[in-house]
A and B are shown apart, each in its own frame.
Chain A
Amino acid sequence: MLDSKIPAGKLDEKWVDYKGHCKLVNPANKRKLEVIVVGTGLAGASAAASLGEMGYKVKAFCFQDSPRRAHSIAAQGGINAAKNYQNDGDSTFRLFYDTIKGGDYRAREANVHRLAEVSANIIDQCVAQGVPFAREYGGLLSNRSFGGTQVQRTFYAAGQTGQQLLIGAYQALERQVALGNVTMYARHEMLEVVKVDGKARGIIARDLVGGKLERHFGHAVLLCTGGYGNVFYLSTNAMGSNVTAAWKAHKAGAYFANPCFTQIHPTCIPVSGDHQSKLTLMSESLRNDGRIWVPKKQGDNRKSIDIPEEERDYYLERRYPAFGNLVPRDVASRAAKERCDAGYGVGSSKQAVYLDFAAAIQRYGKGEVSKRNLGNISAAEITQLGKDVVKEKYGNLFDMYEKITGENPYEMAMRIYPAVHYTMGGLWVDYELMTNVQGLYALGEANFSDHGANRLGASALMQGLADGYFVIPYTLGNYLADEIYAKALETSHPAFEEAEKKTADRINTLMNIKGKQSVESLHKRLGKIMWEKCGMARNAEGLKEAIAEIQALKKEFWSDVRIPGEIASFNPELDKAGRVADFIELGELMCKDALAREESCGGHFREEHQTEEGEAERHDDKFMYVSAWELKGESEWELHKEVLNYEVIKPSARNYK
Chain B
Amino acid sequence: MEHTSINVNLKVWRQKNNQAKGEFKMYKLEDVSTEMSFLEMFDVLNEQLINDGEDPVAFDHDCREGICGMCSMYINGKPHGPWQANTTCQLHMRAFKNGDTIVVEPWRANAFPVIKDLTVDRTAFDRIIQAGGYISVNTGNAVDGNSLPINKDKADASFAAAMCIGCGACVAACKNSSAMLFLSAKVSHLALLPQGEPERHSRVVNMIAQMDKEGFGACTNTGACEATCPKEISLSNIARLNKEYLTASLVSDK
B189 contacts the other chain (Cβ, under 8 Å)?
yes
B224 at the interface (CB under 8 A from A): no
- A520 near B135 with CB under 8 A, answer no
Known: A69-B62, A406-B92. A124 touches B33 (CB 8 A): no
Interface check A565, CB cutoff 8 A? yes
- Provide the A388-427 mask, 1 if CB < 8 A to any CB of B, else 0: 0000000000011001111100000000000000000000
For A53, list chain B residues within 8 Å (CB).
138-139
Stretch at the interface among B43-51, B214-222, B237-245: B43-51
Contact flag A570-B35 (CB < 8 Å), given A65-B60, A129-B195: no
Within the complex, the shortest CB–CB distance from A522 to chain B, in Å, comes to 12
* Given the contacts A49-B139, A121-B142, A573-B56, A132 and B162 also touching, CB distance less than 8 Å: yes
Verify A403–B144 contact, CB threshold 8 A.
no
Which residue of B53, B134, B136, B189 has the most chain A CB atoms within 10 A of its CB atom? B134
Q: How far is the CA of A210 from the CA of B143 in the complex (A)?
A: 45
* Residues 94-135 of A at the B interface (beta carbon under 8 Å): 121, 123-130, 132-135
CB atoms of B39 and A277 under 8 A apart = yes
- CB of B88 to closest CB in A, whole Å: 12
Tell me how far the C-beta of A599 lies from the nearest C-beta in chain B, rounded to whole angstroms. 35
B16-59 to A contact mask, C-beta < 8 Å, 1/0: 11000000000000000101110110011011011101111010
List A508-544 residues whose CB lies under 8 Å from chain B: 518, 520-521
The reply on A489 being an interface residue by CB < 8 A is no
Chain A residues within 8 Å of B53, by CB: 564
CB of A375 closer than 8 Å to a CB of B: no
CB < 8 Å neighbour of A171 from B40, B46, B134: B134
- Chain A residue contacts of B90, Cβ below 8 A: 400, 403-404
Contacting residues, chain A, for B62 (C-beta < 8 A): 64, 69, 71, 238-240
| Min distance, Cβ B145 to any Cβ of chain A, angstroms | 4
Could you tell me if B119 and A473 are in contact, using CB atoms closer than 8 angstroms? Answer: no
Chain A residue numbers with a CB within 8 Å of B85 are 399
Complex CA–CA separation, A232 to B33 (angstroms)? 23
CA distance A10 to B138 in the complex (A): 30
The answer for the CA separation of A240 and B53 in the assembled complex, in Å, is 24
Give the A-B pair count, Cβ closer than 8 A: 220
Which residue of the partner chain, among A65, A83, A469, contacts B139 with CB atoms under 8 Å?
A: A469
Count the B residues whose beta carbon is within 8 Å of the partner chain — how many?
81
A residues 451-487 in Cβ contact with B at 8 Å: 469-470, 473
Q: Does A85 contact B (CB under 8 A)?
A: yes
In the complex with contacts A140-B146, A158-B159, A400-B90, A275-B70 CB distance below 8 A: no
Q: Tell whether, in the assembled complex, residue A238 and residue B68 are in contact, meaning their CB atoms are under 8 Å apart.
A: yes
Q: Is the CB of B39 within 8 A of A570?
A: no
Contact B195 A130 (CB under 8 A): yes
Q: Chain B contacts of A127 at CB under 8 A?
A: 142, 145, 148, 195
Q: Is B130 located at the chain interface by the 8 A CB criterion? A: yes
Interface membership of B100, Cβ < 8 A: no
Does B56 lie within 8 Å of A275, measured CB to CB?
no
Q: Are B64 and A518 in contact (CB under 8 A)?
A: no
B127 to chain A, nearest CB (A): 9
Residue of B nearest to A75 (CB): B67
B47 and A178: CB pair below 8 A? no
A275 and B36 contacting across the interface, CB-CB below 8 Å: yes
Picked from B17, B40, B64, B189, the residue with its CB within 8 Å of the CB of A238 is B64
Chosen A-B contacts, 6 in total, with CB atoms closer than 8 Å, are: A65-B60, A124-B145, A175-B134, A238-B63, A469-B139, A564-B56
The 3 closest A-B CB pairs, nearest first, are: A139-B149, A171-B134, A128-B142
- Extra contacts besides A126-B145, A239-B63 (4): CB < 8 Å: A64-B70, A239-B61, A276-B40, A562-B50
Residues of B within 8 A of A (CB): 1, 16-17, 33, 35-37, 39-40, 43-44, 46-47, 49-51, 53-56, 58, 60-70, 83, 85-86, 90, 92, 94, 115-116, 119, 121-123, 125-126, 129-131, 133-146, 148-152, 155-156, 158-159, 162-163, 165-166, 189-190, 193, 195-196
